[in-house]
Amino acid sequence: MMRVVHLDLDNTLIYSYKHILPDSTGCPAVCAAGAAGGTGGGICNGAGDAMGVLDRSMNRRGEDRLCLKWQSGDISHTSGVGSEKEECRRFYICQDKFDCTWMNAETYKGRNISYMTEKTQILLGHLRKKCLIVPTTTRTIEQYNRIHIGAGPFEYALVCNGGILLVNGESDHAWYAQSRELAADSERELQRAYELLKKEPLRKFELRFIEELFVFTKCNDPDTVISRLNMELDAKKVDVLSNKEKVYVVPKKLDKGMAVGRFRAYIGADEVIAAGDSRFDAPMVKAADTGVVPAGFCRKYQAEGNLKEMKGERIFSEEMLTWIDGHIR
């Protein structure tokens, strides 16, 4: 039986340094360095109370990792997904006494910028023996290639929101050609979006037309930018999406759900499971036979279908992989 598991990467398997490093100011779950004692930094419960300690160390292979050790005491847990503060608490402060080792998963310009837990790496390696795992991400080829998660190279990966299929690291030309065909009726709107964003005063990053498939940039006040774009663009042709400061304009026919359906036919899958955490992943988990999502996902994105929502009792990567491993006997 051919089983395929599509896994989003960011906040599903790996987590940004902004969530877990003690010098980050973007996450309310992180205190100033030393707030909780110890040499690393402190972990808060969202109310500013120091609850744990982050310490840097090296593992036996000489890889940088972060050790997260909870101090004794009660930690209030929010399982909802209503705000950034709640999301951070769900991801990183989930149990009274919780030991977690963070391992570097992505390096950019000499800096470690994304991490995964050691248990996630172990679970992923075990699951790969039972099914075909396909990373499915909005990341570009270059951004995807920066990731090293210690489970070996994947035979297949879907990048650029599913517009490009990598087979043993090389782009499948037929897949890309079909993606361009699917996006053809959105080309005019993509060009309009590009011109609008070129003049957008709130834009703070270079404007990119990723592989001629979708438009990407970063903006201050992304909600205002998205509102302006939605008033100008044809909603039947493109989706305007954001992920914090990142703004995307994507063809309607080029989402992760379409990619999951295409890959099912491509590989001849008998069962498809998909896991993801964001609005970009909603079409993917709906298109799968079973979608695995974090606590609060269905309410936040009004998602329906055969979705298995986690309880939020552990970090999503570990909770999700454990559930999938138990499901695939």
Q: Strands 50-58, 41-44: parallel, antiparallel or unpaired by DSSP? A: antiparallel
Q: Average the pLDDT over 112-128 and give the result.
A: 93
CATH 3.90.1070 fits 180-251, yes or no: yes
Q: Which of 41-55, 60-74, 103-117, 129-143 has the highest mean pLDDT?
A: 129-143
Residue-range domain boundaries for the chain: 15-117, 180-251
Whole-number Å distance between alpha carbons of 241 and 249: 6
pLDDT at 110 over 90: no
On average, the pLDDT of the chain sits at 81
Q: Average the pLDDT over 173-182 and give the result.
A: 98
**160-169 pLDDT, tens digit each:** 999 999 999 9
Predicted TM-score (pTM) of the model is 0.80
pLDDT value at position 112?
87
pLDDT value at position 79?
29
pLDDT value at position 300?
93
pLDDT value at position 329?
79
pLDDT value at position 30?
32
pLDDT at 287 over 60: yes
pLDDT value at position 85?
34
Q: Regarding predicted confidence, which is higher, 63 or 28?
A: 63
**pLDDT-derived band at 151, boundaries 50, 70, 90:** confident
**234-286 pLDDT, tens digit each:** 999 999 999 889 999 999 999 999 999 999 999 999 999 999 999 999 999 99
Q: Regarding predicted confidence, which is higher, 102 or 11?
A: 11
Residue with tokens 């707030």: 35
